[in-house]
Each structure stands twice: as C-alpha cells, then as structure tokens.
C-alpha cells in the first residue's frame, strides 16, 4: 500500500483569507479561485517557419501554355474537378487537310488558335464536380447512355449549338 505524499501548507492566523478562496500555486504567484491567470505573451513565429512552405496559401497560377492554350472559365478550387461530356471524333485525312488550309487564315483573326491533335464533339459545357462525385456521375451517365444507338450526326455544322463564348461546340 502506498502512502499519499504529505503536503505542507503555511498557516496564517486569519481564517478570512481561506474563506476568500485565496490559493497559491508554485511559481504562479497568487490569484483567486475562478479567476484566470494573466494572459501569457506569445512568442512570434520565426520567419523560417512561416516561409517553410511557400505558395501554399495562394491559389495555383494558371499557365495556359502548359495546357494547350486552354484558359479557365472559372477559378480552380482544391477538391473540385472540371469536366465535360464529349464524343471523340476520329479525324479523316480530308478533315486534316481542310484544317491545314483554314487554320492560318483563322489565326489572323484569333492568334491564339492552335491545331489540336485529338478532336471531340462537346455535349455539355464544363461543369465542376467534387472529387467524391466523379465515380457516381460516370456510372449514372454510362447507365443512361447505353440505351442510345450510335449513329452519324445527320445535320450540317450550322445546326450545332453555340457555347457560352459564342463558338460552335465542335
């Protein structure tokens, strides 16, 4: 059986102090029960710690040269993924020849136009998905699209709708 440590209290001749709730703690000075001690002064955070992870507070920089000249239409947010629904298009030789003729003329009006290597037909505008929504979105889209028959698009390009930027969706 272990014995409890002995604690020595100083005695004073007055019982009034004990009734007032005066307590002392080692190294703390005295303060009344229920009152918080004086607020401690915090030390400043060193610059070496503040600069340990540069750029983590700021958003990512958009550099369109790293993304084939594409420009964001809405700002990037951590955890969000931009996506759109599209149908891939396998370009035939005639299409590529026509593109080679038209592109230089179009670049005189819109210099940032570049020749793409892979082509598609957009069926939706860009939408934002949270990371945990991606798989359910893809599964639901596949489930709904499997019942459609694959056919050629029987309409001329002028029948295609325009996106919010006023450009054809092809």
Q: What is the pLDDT of residues 78-89, one digit of tens each?
A: 888 888 888 899
Contact, 68 vs 104, CB < 8 A?
no
Task: Quickly count: other Cβ atoms within 10 Å of residue 129's Cβ.
Answer: 16
| pLDDT score, position 119 | 93
Q: Indicate the average pLDDT of the chain.
A: 75
| pLDDT score, position 100 | 95
Cα separation, 2 vs 5, in Å, equals 9
| pLDDT score, position 60 | 61
Task: Quickly count: other Cβ atoms within 10 Å of residue 163's Cβ.
Answer: 14
Q: What is the pLDDT of residues 118-140, one digit of tens each?
A: 999 888 888 889 989 999 999 99
Task: Tally DSSP H helices, then E strands, for the chain.
Answer: 4, 6
Q: What are phi and psi of 130, to 5 degrees?
A: -70, 155
pLDDT higher at 31 or 122: 122
DSSP 41-93: PPPPPPHHHHTSSTTSSSPPPP-GGGGTT---SS---TTEEEE--EEEE---H
Decide if pLDDT at 74 tops 80. no
pLDDT band of residue 35 (cuts 50, 70, 90) is low
């Amino acid at each position: 059986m272990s014995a409890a440590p002995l604690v020595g209290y100083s005695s004073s001749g007055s019982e009034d102090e004990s009734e007032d709730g005066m307590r002392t703690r080692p190294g703390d000075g005295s303060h009344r029960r229920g009152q918080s001690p004086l607020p401690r002064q915090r030390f400043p955070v060193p610059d070496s710690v503040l600069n340990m992870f540069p750029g983590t507070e700021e958003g990512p920089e958009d550099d369109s040269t790293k993304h084939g000249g594409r420009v964001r239409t809405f700002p990037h947010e951590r955890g969000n993924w931009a996506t759109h629904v599209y149908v891939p298009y396998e370009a035939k030789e005639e299409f590529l020849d026509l593109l080679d003729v038209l592109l230089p003329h179009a670049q005189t009006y819109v210099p940032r136009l570049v020749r793409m290597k892979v082509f598609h037909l957009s069926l939706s505008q860009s939408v934002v998905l949270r990371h945990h929504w991606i798989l359910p979105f893809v599964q639901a889209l596949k489930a709904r699209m499997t019942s459609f028959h694959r056919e050629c698009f029987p309409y001329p390009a002028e029948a295609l709708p325009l996106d919010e930027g006023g450009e054809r969706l092809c």
